[in-house]
Structures are given as C-alpha cells and as structure tokens.
Structure 1
Amino acid sequence: MGQWVPIAKTDEVTTGSSKECVVDGRIIALFSTEDGYYAIDGICAHAGGPIAEGALNGCVVTCPWHGWQYEITTGEHCLNPQIRLTTFPVKVEGDSVLVEIP
C-alpha cells in the first residue's frame, strides 16, 4: 500500500478542469468530472506532452502536443489499449484532494 499525499484543494480543480501537480518528483494530471476526481501520469507516452493542459471531453483527455487521447479513468490510450498511462487512486478529505503514491 502506498502513501496518501494531498495534491490540491477541491476549489482548485472544478468540474471539467484539470491541474498539473508534482508529487515526489512525479508529474501527475488531476482531473475533476461530474463523477469525481481522477489522477493519471501527467506525461504523454508519445512525446512527453503535458496531459493536464489537454482538452477534457467527458472522460477523455487529448494531449495538446500531438492529439493522443487517453481515458482518464483507466489511463488507456483510446486507439491502442496496449498504451496506458499510470493511474493513481484519489480520495477527498474535507477540502483536500489526495492521491495514493506507491
């Protein structure tokens, strides 16, 4: 089991938005949807683009550099399921959003 680390306040990431967070030297993209918060590796598998800066449509984020798309709930690439970004469990405690870091 990993360590739960606070990465944002709930008012910093409103529904439909995202935030790039750095935790223990890792870049994590945090997303807020109507269904809750999701966290995935913040670096695109293609060319290292900033995933948190991508457009979010439902639960799919599009990397702003070259258009690679990922399902934020699973980290899976939308066209090639063999490509997957790491996902991180997320929970909310009070007004803090926490992720579990292995």
Structure 2
Amino acid sequence: MSFVEVATTEELRDGTMKMARVNGHEILLARSGDNYYSADNRCPHMGGNLSQGTLDGTVVTCPRHHSQFDLADGHVIRWTDFTGIKKSLGKLFKSPRPLKTHPVKVEGEKVLVDL
C-alpha cells in the first residue's frame, strides 16, 4: 500500500467533504464523526462532482441526478432520482455501478489515502 497525505484533520470538520487531487486523480474526502472516507470524486452515473453534493452520515448524494452511495463501501443506495419510464431507460443505458472507495488512515493530524 502507498498512502499519500491529502489533508489534515483540521481541514475536514465532521459532516463535511472536499475534493483533492492526487497524482492527477480527483478524490473525494469526507468525515462523519471520527471516521474519514475517500472515494472517486466523480459519480459513476453521469460524472457529477460529488464534492459539491451533500453528505448525510456516510451517504453522499450527487448534485447532478441525486444518485446516492454509501462511502463506507461504495454500494449504490439510489442510482438516480428519475421515475417511471425515464428510470427504466436510464438503467438500460447506464446500469448501476458502485462508487470506487479508497482506504484511509489518520496519523496524528494527517489524513492519508491509498489509491
């Protein structure tokens, strides 16, 4: 594993998220309570910037089509907020995929992520 420092604990308050770039890769950093999470910053549905979405506990909601993912393991909670035929067609063209998550560890005040 190759952990890289991406933030400090002071930069990430409880209930907040931010985007960081590591080796040209956009990652999402989030904090819920004393736990820190990291995932790809772009939504696997339509590429929305997740750091501009909302965070409720460990659930991140994409600002674009309101797809939701659990940052604990990346599983899909809701693929879109589409309904009816639009939802069915949307799943045909872009089937649900989990959000890629990354291991996080905290050493002192440093938040480190392994890509």
| TM-score, normalization by structure 1 | 0.90
The answer to whether 1:95 aligns with 2:95 is no
2:88 matched to which residue of 1?
none
Query: Which residues of structure 2 form unaligned runs of 5+?
Result: 80-95
1:69 matched to which residue of 2?
68
Alignment size in residue pairs: 99
SS in 2 for 1:31: strand
In terms of fraction of residues, the more strand-rich structure is: 1
CA apart distance, 1:79? 3.4
Query: Which residues of structure 1 form unaligned runs of 5+?
Result: none
In terms of fraction of residues, the more helix-rich structure is: 2
SS in 1 for 2:43: coil
| TM-score, normalization by structure 2 | 0.81
Identity of aligned pairs, percent? 40
SS in 1 for 2:10: helix
One-letter identity of the residue aligned with 2:60: V
One-letter identity of the residue aligned with 1:97: V
Larger radius of gyration: 2
One-letter identity of the residue aligned with 2:103: P
The answer to whether 1:36 aligns with 2:50 is no
